[in-house]
Copies of this chain bind each other. A is one copy, B any other.
């Protein structure tokens, strides 16, 4: 019984890692589609999301089976509970990749000289965070997880700067309004992916150390608090305190 349980638990982890690699790939390809204006690639990303969605349901079912099979305790129980959250986080990352791919499609139809501003740099940071979060899960390495948390602020800052710059460009040339809205959409989606990578890293810390770091991680001096979705627009230069949650 115990051996069977361990095998099932290992299987759950393997499925999540597979899902993580699909989510990471989807984000990478959606960004590539945007940068290279590759409509075919964008459509492939949109189509492939169903694989991530079906893995999400598989993981949920495996978790029901695991909990019904045996009464896990301590680290095994924490792994299973973290798995339910990481599963949801990865599925949402897949959705954000679809959003970015949709913006890439819209961008392909527009004038190619419209500026992408700091999006490539923001994408680089976000992809690195996601890769590190998934690696920290694979290697069960809470230290690597906690470095992910520190990069999140930088991506948030890039998102705020991008918002200010896009508004400036739109005001100068109203023909840029629609393109600008797509840029803001991609920026916001990247910022959310960075938040979700942060969530995953927090779960890795929870598995290894039985310590909840979300919401009040900043009280422990580990990092500044995670931001809410969609903060780029809200008065970028002041009242930062109000954005903590």
Contact = CB atoms under 8 A, between A and B. Distances in A.
A99 B235 CA distance: 11
SS of A interface (majority):
helix
Number of copies of chain A assembled together: 2
Contacts of A239: 105
A234 B99 contact: yes
Interface string A219-241: 00000000011110111000100
Given A54-B215, A85-B84, A235-B106, A98 B68 contact: no
A235 B109 CA distance: 11
Given A50-B245, A233-B185, A228 B95 contact: yes
6 contacts: A54-B215, A56-B215, A57-B215, A99-B231, A103-B233, A192-B229
Interface of A: 43, 46, 49-50, 53-54, 56-57, 60-61, 63-64, 67-68, 70-73, 77-78, 81, 84-85, 88, 92, 94-96, 98-99, 102-103, 105-106, 167, 170-171, 174, 177-178, 181-182, 184-185, 188-189, 192, 212, 214-215, 228-231, 233-235, 239, 242-243, 245
